[in-house]
Chain A
Amino acid sequence: MSDQQSVRQPGPAAAPPVANSRERRTVPGPASEDTRLAVEIRELVAHGDMDDARDRFAGLVAAHQRRASRIAYQYLRDAAEADEAVQDAFVKAFGHIASYREAWPFEVWFTRILINGCLDRRKARARRDRWFAPADDTPHDETRVPFGGVAELDPEAQLLARERRARLSAAIDRLDGRQRTVFMLCHYGDCTPREVSAMTGLNESTVRVHLFRAARKLRALLGAKS
């Protein structure tokens, strides 16, 4: 599976649900609060109670927003585009909530939508870069002033952060397709190997091996350059 390939739809034997923040990631239960909430929203939409459904969905958005932004940003390396990708993913998730099945944790289902959207955007960007000459040769968002973000740092810190990002990004791009996907999902997506297994269809043990090798390769690449 290459990096440009879409993340597979999780099967019925998906991973048990997990909490939505790094700190809350504990022993998986039978159904997470998010999954139950998603099921409730689905029922509300089915009954045409859109206002209530939107209100409930706002809670899901607040819970997953930061994590989704991190994933999208790591995939796209552009704050504005990541912002749009996150918005699109939430809107799409709400629009397709009728197709959501509680056998999959909401987090897994939503992450799949988000990552597919990010991959589509990367493809579109690659097409654009192929046909249109760039206005300048700087990376995508390195010159943009983030919304109250890195621009507030001092210039030296900005420069160092930019160099680190560029090195890491280049190293991740040199990973094998599966390794890259597994690493992105586990590291930036906060997914456990079991969840990545559900998303990609890979064996859980294979996911762990890919992650280990990705980390080893990255360490070698980053260590060699530094």
Chain B
Amino acid sequence: MIGRSEHLPDDRLVECYFSDRGGEPLDPPAVEHLADCQSCGMRYAELVGFLDDMRTASDVETDAVFTPERLHQQHEHILRRLEHASRSARVISFPGQSSSHPAAAAGRVAPRWLAAAAAAGLFVGVAVGGTFLHPGFERSVTSMHVANNATAAARLAPSATVLVNAPANVSDSIDDDAFLMQLEFALERPHTQELQPFDALTPHVRPVGVNDIH
């Protein structure tokens, strides 16, 4: 029971406002007090008026921004995202074979063997071709190794035989060597002075290869 001398506290006014807004019956003593007490009636009227005004303004504003068309589009977006999100991730096998196909696992064996055979064939072909068709190839490969052991001489011997048997190719290989040597001399020292200390600290393989050949 609220006496005449006591005013309604703030929270009671808010409670009345929400009850009224929700269509619920107001607390009878509070209604009676609001009717009798001018001060509380004014406070309540100010509160209701202010909140209702703001409410109307926010409704108008939101309706202007979120039109039915926009809400419909938003609804569609949400449903699309839900559909996309609830779809479990799939691993797509490359190149385009379905992983769910029962023969897929067995089918993968053949390409693997094929690839291995192709790689082996290529390697053998290059090696044989390099040995018999381009004698300089073997020598150049040999020159890349540091020949500071006894087997190096044995490796160089067959290539010397080939050089005797194929004089035309000798001049070609000599030209190549001369060209490469010129190139190496040109690049032997960096032209930038600031880089020369770094170059001095860097080990070089060029002299070793040249000295071993000659």
Q: Is the CB of B75 within 8 A of A65?
A: yes
Set of chain A residues within 8 Å of B83, measured between Cβ atoms: 54
- Interface assignment of B57: CB less than 8 Å from any CB of chain A: yes
**Interface readout for A56-81 with B: 1 if CB under 8 Å, 0 if not?**
01100110011001100110000100
Chain B min CB distance to A71 (Å): 9
Q: Is the CB of B50 within 8 A of A219?
A: yes
Q: Is the CB of B65 within 8 A of A62?
A: no
Q: Is the CB of B10 within 8 A of A212?
A: yes
- Interface assignment of B194: CB less than 8 Å from any CB of chain A: no
Q: Is the CB of A62 within 8 A of B21?
A: no
Q: Is the CB of A192 within 8 A of B62?
A: no
Set of chain A residues within 8 Å of B98, measured between Cβ atoms: none
Contact (A70, B75) CB under 8 Å given A211-B14, A212-B14: no
Q: Is the CB of A209 within 8 A of B47?
A: no
- Decide if the interface of chain B is mainly helix, strand, loop or mixed: helix
Q: A27 vs B11: C-alpha distance in the bound complex, in angstroms?
A: 20
Q: Is the CB of B50 within 8 A of A218?
A: yes
| Chain B residue total in the interface (Cβ 8 A) | 41
- Interface assignment of A165: CB less than 8 Å from any CB of chain B: yes
CB nearest neighbor in B for A147: B70
Q: A98 vs B66: C-alpha distance in the bound complex, in angstroms?
A: 30
- What total of A-B pairs shows CB separation below 8 Å? 130
Q: A79 vs B198: C-alpha distance in the bound complex, in angstroms?
A: 61
**B residues 11-54 touching A (CB-CB < 8 Å):** 11-15, 18, 21-24, 46-47, 50-51, 54
Point out the residue from A25, A94, A209, A216 that lies within 8 Å of B11, measured CB to CB: A209
**Interface readout for A174-202 with B: 1 if CB under 8 Å, 0 if not?**
00000000000011100011000000000
- Interface assignment of B195: CB less than 8 Å from any CB of chain A: no
- Interface assignment of B109: CB less than 8 Å from any CB of chain A: no
Q: Is the CB of A212 within 8 A of B11?
A: yes
Set of chain A residues within 8 Å of B15, measured between Cβ atoms: 193, 208
A residues at B contact (CB < 8 Å) = 18, 22, 25-27, 50, 53-54, 57-58, 61-62, 65-66, 69-70, 73-74, 79, 83, 86-87, 90-91, 94-95, 146-150, 152-153, 161, 164-165, 168, 186-188, 192-193, 205-206, 208-209, 211-213, 215-216, 218-219
Beyond A25-B23, A27-B22, 13 additional contacts (C-beta under 8 Å) are A18-B22, A54-B83, A83-B74, A87-B81, A91-B82, A147-B69, A148-B69, A153-B64, A161-B61, A187-B55, A187-B58, A209-B11, A219-B50
